[in-house]
């Protein structure tokens, strides 16, 4: 097989890249190791920045998002049993976020790709990227029990944190920046209307809690739990009791309970691989960087990377200049590090470390009160939350 752009991975990064290239008249082939149902059901992110919404719409993938996505003009910070609403458009000159799950983004992009785009192979596991710094990189892969080779002009590794693409960068050129956190998130999906019409980020002495949603009928909630926690060790009852404690306010707000339909634990990690390019291999999304989910940035960063790559490739085709491709890693990393910084700030602002001292607690509360009391501090949060400009 041969193609112009070989894309490894059909998560949001790989699927959107295939769509952007198709729209620009560039051929691609997508290799995805899992089956379609798995990719469409995997529970992950839920918040789209304004820029992500604009990109999906412009790519012709926004029809259902525009119908079913929920525009949110604010988030609530809860601490000390008080509530503070951050008015996003008022602080950012009009920007908001949209609640539309990653599962739905993937379903929409898969349907479009299968109908109009190039090949998208499920059950096709990339084994290695070869000759990445030569003129014609190859992806060796296994599909239907047979090994095959995809010959490409460019390879984009959109294969997530555990993928194979990153390994093709020689160790001598790789630099990894990493931090793990001594806690994780226990997340549930529940068939109950969300108890608040906007997301609630709560700081509590017992740990962080987040109230989010998937639709007007489905709630998504998270609890900070110790690293290594087994989701099975928490009964549904225990989860609701703990959410109630951590989300409690001094007013008459109440948390509504409903049947829990999914429960899982997500580890928390910050990770950046530099550079994001080696020869004709480009890394995008979680393959190159991970953020803890507190800032809701993972999916949005993946979108930024593939938009940057698609623009750069089209620029080269149209002008003959490789300048933008050469700048890919640097361009992406500027935005990536802003998201790393913000995700780290939000995480340490709201989670209680197991070794937190009374001093740490006081500083955390002071940071929260500063955001609630200073328009400058609040604007900084709102700008980062709604997203930094692309490119
Ligand atoms: P993805 O979504 O991980 O997609 C990578 C795809 O590559 C496939 N793959 C391979 N295919 C072929 N050959 C191989 N050798 C392959 N190896 C892997 C995988 O099957 C998969 O389909 O990466 P992408 O596209 O970069 O998208 C990034 C986002 O998925 C990610 O940033 C966010 O979901 C992060 N994230 C969350 N972000 C939020 O903003 N809010 C959240 O609540 C949230 N929850 C999460 C998350 C990430 C998680 N991970 C990575 C384990 C929960 C989890 C569990
Ligand atoms: C989610 O709805 O899954 C979600 C929302 C906001 C976050 C993280 C996850 O910061």
Burial 76-115 (b: 16+ CB within 10 A, else e): bbbbeeebbebebeebbeebbbbbbbbbbbbbbbbebbee
173 domain-assigned? yes
- Span from the CA of 96 to the centroid of ligand 1 (angstroms): 24
Q: How confident is the model over 337-366, as a mean pLDDT?
A: 97
Ligand 2 atom 1, closest CA = 46
Range of the domain at 7: 2-74+93-178+268-351
pLDDT at 391: 57
Q: Give me the CATH number covering residue 53.
A: 3.50.50.60
The Å distance, Cα 287 to ligand 1 centre, comes to 8
Q: Tell me the mean pLDDT in the region 365-385.
A: 98
Q: Is 226 a residue whose pLDDT tops 60?
A: yes
Question: CA distances (Å), 142 to each of 2, 31, 62, 169, in order?
Answer: 15, 10, 33, 21
pLDDT in tens, 132-167: 998 899 999 999 999 999 999 999 999 999 999 999
**274 domain-assigned:** yes
| Beta strands in the chain, from DSSP E residues, in sequence order | 2-8, 28-31, 47-49, 70-72, 74-79, 82-87, 97-99, 120-121, 124-130, 138-143, 146-157, 175-190, 199-203, 209-215, 218-226, 260-274, 277-278, 281-283, 289-290
Threshold 0.75, pTM exceeds = yes
Task: Extract long-range pairs of 252-256: CB within 8 Å, 24+ residues apart.
Answer: 253/83, 253/195, 253/196, 254/195, 255/195, 255/211, 256/192, 256/193, 256/195
Q: Which two tokens stand for residue 15?
A: 């699927």
CA dihedral 357, 360, 362, 366 (to 10 degrees): -170
Expressed in angstroms and rounded, the spacing between residue 237 Cα and the centre of ligand 2 is 22
Q: Is 50 a domain residue?
A: yes
Asked if residue 39 belongs to a domain, the reply is yes
* Ligand 1 contacts CB of residue 198 (under 6 A): no
Q: How far is the CA of 124 from the centre of ligand 2 (A)?
A: 30
Residue 363, token pair as written in the block:
């500083």
Tally of structural domains, the chain = 1
How many other C-beta atoms can be found within 10 angstroms of the C-beta atom of residue 41? 11
Q: Is residue 222 part of a domain?
A: no
CB 28 within 8 A of CB 150: no
Q: Which ligand is nearest to the CA of 294?
A: 2
| Rounded-to-integer distance, Cα 277 and Cα 284, Å | 9
Give the catalytic positions in this structure: 72, 201, 293, 297, 385
Question: If you search the block for the tokens 């239907």, which residue do you land on?
Answer: 144
**For the CA of 212, the nearest atom of ligand 2:** 2
Ligand 2 pocket test, pick from 103, 208, 263, 293 with the greatest ligand atom count within 8 Å of Cβ, gives: 293
Could you tell me if residue 131 is inside a domain?
yes
Q: Which atom of ligand 1 is nearest to the CA of 124?
A: 12
Q: What is the DSSP letter of 63?
A: H
Inter-residue contact 322 to 368 (CB < 8 Å): no
* pLDDT (tens digit per residue) in 327-340: 999 999 999 999 99
Q: How far apart are CA 368 and CA 377, in angstroms?
A: 10
d(CA 158, CA 312): 17
- Mean pLDDT for all residues in the chain: 97
- Tell me if 87 is assigned to some domain: no
Whether residue 29 lies inside any domain: the answer is yes
Angle CA 209–211–214, to nearest 5: 140
Name the closest-CA residue to atom 52, ligand 1.
266
Pocket probe for ligand 2: among 210, 211, 290, 295, the residue whose CB has the most ligand atoms within 8 Å is 210
Strands of 289-290's sheet in order across: 82-87, 74-79, 199-203, 209-215, 218-226, 175-190, 260-274, 289-290
Ligand 1 centre and the CA of 319: distance in Å?
34
Closest atom of ligand 2 to 213 CA is 2
Note the pLDDT tens digit of each residue in 262-302. Answer: 999 999 999 999 999 999 999 999 999 999 999 999 999 99
Which numbered ligand comes closest to the C-alpha of 299? 1
Q: Taking 80 as the threshold, does the pLDDT of residue 360 lie above it?
A: yes
pLDDT classification of 45: cutoffs 50, 70, 90: confident
Closest ligand to 266 CA? 1
326: tokens are 């050469």
CB distance 155 to ligand 1 below 6 Å: no
């Amino acid at each position: 097989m041969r193609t112009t752009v070989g894309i490894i991975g059909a998560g949001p990064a790989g699927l959107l890249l295939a769509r952007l290239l198709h729209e620009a008249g560039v051929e691609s082939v997508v290799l995805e190791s899992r089956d379609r149902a798995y990719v469409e059901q995997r529970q992950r992110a839920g918040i789209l920045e304004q820029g992500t919404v604009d990109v999906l719409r412009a790519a012709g993938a926004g029809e259902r998002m525009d119908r079913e996505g929920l525009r949110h003009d604010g988030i609530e910070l809860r601490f000390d049993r008080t509530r503070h609403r951050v008015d996003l458009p008022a602080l950012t000159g009009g920007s908001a976020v949209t609640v539309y799950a990653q599962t739905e983004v993937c379903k929409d992009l898969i349907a479009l790709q299968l109908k109009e785009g190039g090949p998208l192979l499920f059950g096709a596991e990339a084994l290695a990227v070869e000759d990445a710094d030569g003129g014609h990189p190859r992806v060796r892969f296994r599909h239907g029990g047979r090994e095959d080779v995809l010959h490409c002009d460019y390879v984009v590794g959109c294969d997530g944190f555990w993928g194979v693409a990153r390994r093709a960068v020689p160790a001598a050129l790789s630099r990894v920046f990493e931090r793990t956190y001594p806690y994780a998130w226990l997340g549930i999906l529940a068939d109950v209307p969300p108890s608040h019409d906007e997301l609630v980020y709560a700081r509590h002495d017992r740990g962080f809690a987040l109230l989010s949603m998937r639709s007007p009928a489905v709630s998504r909630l998270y609890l900070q739990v110790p690293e290594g926690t087994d989701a099975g060790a928490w009964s549904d009852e225990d989860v609701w009791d703990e959410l109630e404690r951590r989300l409690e306010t001094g007013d008459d707000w109440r948390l509504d309970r409903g049947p829990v339909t999914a429960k899982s634990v997500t580890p928390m990690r910050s990770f950046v691989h530099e550079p994001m390019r080696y020869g004709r291999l480009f890394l995008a999304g979680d393959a190159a960087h991970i953020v803890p989910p507190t800032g809701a940035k993972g999916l949005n960063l993946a979108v930024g990377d593939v938009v940057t790559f698609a623009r750069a490739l089209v620029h080269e085709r149209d002008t003959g200049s490789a300048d933008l491709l050469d700048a890919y890693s640097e361009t992406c990393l500027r935005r990536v590090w802003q998201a790393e910084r913000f995700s780290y700030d939000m995480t340490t602002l709201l989670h209680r470390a197991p070794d937190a001292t009374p001093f740490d607690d006081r500083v955390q509360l002071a940071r929260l009160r500063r955001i609630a009391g200073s328009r400058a501090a609040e604007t900084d949060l709102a700008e980062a939350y709604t997203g930094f400009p692309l490119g």
